[in-house]
Structure 1
Amino acid sequence: PTLAEIRAITSTAFRRHPCLAEAVQQAVKGDKDMVCIAPTGSGKTLTFWMPLLFRKDGVQIVVTPLNLLGTQNVKELASYGIRACDIAEGRYRAITVNGGGFEKLWKNDAFTSRLISIIWDEAHCISTWSEFREEYKDAYRLRYLLPRTPFYLASATFDYDIKRDVFNTL
């Protein structure tokens, strides 16, 4: 889509004017990893959802450092008629996956072809929280499981050293 189309469709669907339409244009293209460094309140989160408007069967996986952020995202999407779930919220007591679980899901071309990107919200946490959140040290595994799925790193505080550490981790 053109930048004008992205702005028009987003304004209609989300009732907000997008400021980072170029990021969305790249995300919809889906051929490169992306980094979005922008201040709090500038619309980074909106860029997570905008590609869903252009890939009707598309799926976004969003990794957030706090349960509260995940819950807020799910509620916001619901207000726009987009179904989402926050697994960590605990509302779902059963999640069904065929035998082999998530590993089969990651190897299922029908599913992985629908992935728009894996979004790392507050991506600086991959570096700054990895000492006490061990799972951040293992984040690179997703790259091996989903080699064709772009990563989208979003942060307001992504200085050179943190960015380099995150790139090395992923």
Structure 2
Amino acid sequence: MKVRKEVKEAMEVLGIDQCRRGQLKPIGKILKGKDVLLIAPTGFGKSMVYQIPAVCWADRLTLVVEPLVALMHDQVKSLQSRGIRAAYLDSTQSAKEQEKVLHKVRQGSCSVLFVTPERLESHVFQKTVRKVDIALLVVDECHCVLRWGASFRPAYQKIGAFADGCSPRPVMLAMTATCPPEEREELLDALQMQDAICVERSLYRSNLVFLKKRVQSREGAKQALLQCLKKYGPQRALVFCTTIPCAKAAAEELKKHYPGEVALYCGKEKRDEDRILRGEARIIVATSALSMGLDLPDVELVVHLQMPLSLADYYQMAGRAGRNGETARSVLICCDADYRTNRYLLQSTLEGSSLERALELLDEIKNFCDEDRACMVQSLLGALGEHVKRCRYCTNCQKEKRK
């Protein structure tokens, strides 16, 4: 694909020698004023898809909605190092610091502004941005708009109304690694995206090996986790838990075996966040929230100590491994007790059609855990709308090979 002059110039600013396969198409659509839904795996480089247009439209504002503060800080630091006028607004700043950022926005001296979805509801914020020209509105991790997802955030459902209230209405880019075909229309409707073009890339990750281990109890799950860490001896590992109590208990247990090497990230307890982002913790225990805010390239092992709420959530978290292209493993520890726990969690927080859909997705991942013959990669990506050949390396493929 021929690269436009303005795109080449933006790439030079960002220090990019060449775009990866598939990045130029959504960039071109955005620069033509089209709304885009981008579905691509972790490691694809989705940030480049909005950063290049942002540089092309540097005299206007690109507003990026991120679910986690940690990811915002990381992105802003990277852009500022390239001389790009980037900033963020979040709860860690004082009122004076926030006003300083808003002043830059009003003066037109900010090209890229990162905010959480909740910030869009602020009257002070709305009053400021309504007076500036927002060229591009980026919605990262846009699957958070779906009510039945583990990552659901109510504020995401108000983003579409915010965009429609801007004059002129900005071009919108929504990005995610997981959005099955049957959910796309609802996602686009919830964000009120206009005639959006869906651009999707293969979710298949040839360097990521999917494994699973069935256990009979929580004690068995703990032992399986310790065995995984000992067997694969990773440079860096992520341990995901569905519940906060499980995450805290796992972190305490691992600290006994790996003193000084374990960090915990769950809920509002983020004391180890800086250590995690600096890459100082070798083993990170977290709830699903971290799956959207972590950009460490050298994760070699992801272990799910509890069953995730859906296959989409599972793939989102597993995808944190092997972002540098090196061989990595994702191990799913399966325990029937997790299914009952997850049903209780969903029934306690959802109702109506949202609960019905969430329980369907939970049954889907339970079947995935129970299935011992079908290729794990085929089953997983098939549920996400993509058909691939048997991987030959997952637990089930290896089991069939030995027969």
Given the two structures, how large is their TM-score scaled by the length of structure 1? Answer: 0.80
**Pairing 1:102–2:122 present:** no
Q: CA deviation at 1:103?
A: 3.7
Q: Distance in 2 between matches of 1:3 and 1:80?
A: 21
Aligned residues: 161
Q: 1:145 aligns with which of 165, 187, 204?
A: 165
Q: Which amino acid aligns with 1:135?
A: A
CA distance in 1, matches of 2:59, 2:126: 21
Q: Give secondary structure in 2 for the equivalent of 1:139.
A: helix
Are residues 1:159 and 2:186 paired? no
Question: Do the aligned partners of residues 163 and 28 (structure 1) sit closer, same or farther apart at CA in structure 2, a change above 3 Å counting?
Answer: same
Percent identical residues:
24
State the partner residue of 1:136: 156
* 1:70 paired residue number: 72
Alpha-carbon separation, structure 2, partners of 1:104 and 1:91: 19
Q: Which stretch of the first structure deviates more once superposed, 136-145 or 3-12? A: 3-12
| Distance in 1 of aligned mates of 2:50 and 2:171 | 13
Which residue is equivalent to 1:14?
A: 14
Equivalent residue in structure 1 for 2:43, among 41, 44, 47: 41
1:26 lines up with 2:23 in the alignment: no
Whichever residue aligns with residue 187 of structure 2, its letter is V
Q: Mark the CA change 1:14 to 1:157 in structure 2 (over 3 Å): closer, same or farther.
A: same
Q: Which secondary structure state, in structure 1, belongs to the residue aligned with residue 137 of structure 2?
A: strand
Residue in structure 1 matched with residue 319 of structure 2 by the alignment: none
Unaligned runs of 5+ in 2: 107-122, 192-403
Distance 1:155 1:38 in 2: 7
Give the TM-score normalised by the residue count of structure 2: 0.37
1:77-111, Cα deviation, whole Å (9 max, x unpaired):
1111112122126245333369x733433543xx1
Cα-to-partner distance string for 1:126-169 (whole Å, 9 max, x where unaligned): 21333xx3212322321331262121011111212332221121
Q: Deviations over 1:46-95 (max 9, x none)?
A: 11111122223021111111112111111111111112122126245333
Q: Which runs of 5+ in 1 are unaligned?
A: none
Q: Look up the SS of the partner of 1:42 in the other structure.
A: coil
Alpha-carbon distance in 1 for matches of 2:80, 2:130: 29
